[in-house]
Amino acid sequence: MTVASRKAELDAIVRQVSSKLFFQNLACFLLLDLVILIFFGFDSWLWRCLAVGEVLILVYFMNRNTKLIRSMLAPLEAVGETADVLSRDDLKPEDLECLIGRLDDINVGHLSRRVSLPGGSQELAGLTRAINAMLERIDQGYQAQARFVSDVSHELRTPISVIQGYANLLNRWGKDNPEARQEAIDAIVQESGSMAQMVEQLLFLVRGDNDTQTVQREPVDLTPLVDEVAKETRLLDTGREIRTKLAPMVVAEADPRLIKQACRVLVDNAVKYTAQHGTVTLALDQRGEQAVISVADTGEGIPADDLSRIFQRFYRADKSRTRQTGGTGLGLPIADWIAHRHGGWIEVVSGQGLGSRFTLVLPLYGAEKNGK
């Protein structure tokens, strides 16, 4: 059946069904007219109004029924069009076989390959583009996973090497040398602590990726929470001045445990990259329907080229200070995940020699409801 003949047959079905519905509606109106005539008699004014109303209603229902019938027949028309495409001469079985063969050649070791059908039909060309786009997304996800595993291996290699080195030192000279023994013990304790912290951060990110990280949101007054982070940092005796500028009663709907963890990440980074006797300032305020927690420091700042990558896992702007500061490059990705999981984000303003300011933005309690 050609496209024109199929369209003509569908139009005939629409007209036939519409005509039946029209005469059914007309019969109902005639019956109604008979009832009115019996009970109210003949009144020219009443009959004129009734006739006009019935005509308008009949026209409305006729148009509505036609549209309804066409919408019901649309799937059949789509099936017919698909059948036309599949029955066309330019859609050859060998094209499908070639497409299947190309897909069979793609596996984990060759995700960079793409499907190409130089002599294929236009319909298969669209399918090929969709398959290639899907392969591109799969390849990007696989490469990101491979980089993540490589980064984890690289980061764990250093502390493991340090622990092995000091274990050998203990084995050779530490038994009889108290100074060497204490040096080795201190180093092993420090490195094992760093490894434990890294593993815990990795587990957090994995749970976040799998959407299994629990987030228990509740109304939280952020003022005492941020003040507690500042007091805990002062107790560490970091050699930096910790200042606070906290507005009272800033309430957000959040998980207090996670928000405190994000604040600690920002404060720890500020302390690490601020020289002795520098200043770290924690501020809390409201901005419209948002709670704003900012951590500003007087440190060395972040180069402009690194700003767009500081939330990548294992990325550190100052790689020369990695061992000195003890950072893993996972703190900021965790803080960023926490912010987004609460419907917020982190803003960064920094300049070399001018310090940095990280701002955690969260919706106030009730802000989302008010927005609705």
For the chain, the structural domain boundaries read: 3-87, 141-209, 218-371
- Which residue bears the tokens 């930096």? 240
| DSSP SS3 for 363 | strand
pLDDT of residue 108: 53
Residue predicted with more confidence, 7 or 157: 157
Given pLDDT bands bounded at 50, 70 and 90, which one contains residue 136?
A: confident
Q: What is the mean pLDDT of residues 163-172?
A: 81
User: Given a cut of 70, is residue 40 above it in pLDDT?
Assistant: no
Does the domain at 141-209 match CATH 1.10.287.130? Answer given as yes
pLDDT of residue 261: 93
Residue 239 is given by DSSP the state S
The two three-digit tokens of residue 23, written as one number: 């005469």
Q: How many angstroms separate the CA atoms of 91 and 125, rounded?
A: 11
The conformational region for residue 34 under phi > 0 = left, psi -120 to 50 = alpha, else beta, is alpha
Q: How many angstroms separate the CA atoms of 97 and 101, rounded?
A: 6
Bridge partners, 149 (sequence order): none
- Type and span of the H or E element at 293: strand 290-297
Task: Using alpha carbons, list the distances in angstroms from residue 323 to 162, 275, 303, 335, 368.
Answer: 11, 16, 20, 22, 43
pLDDT in tens, 251-300: 999 999 999 999 999 999 999 989 988 999 999 999 989 999 999 999 88
User: Has this prediction a pTM greater than 0.85?
Assistant: no
Given pLDDT bands bounded at 50, 70 and 90, which one contains residue 315?
A: confident
Q: Which CATH superfamily is domain 218-371 in?
A: Histidine kinase-like ATPase, C-terminal domain (3.30.565.10)
Q: How many angstroms separate the CA atoms of 179 and 365, rounded?
A: 56
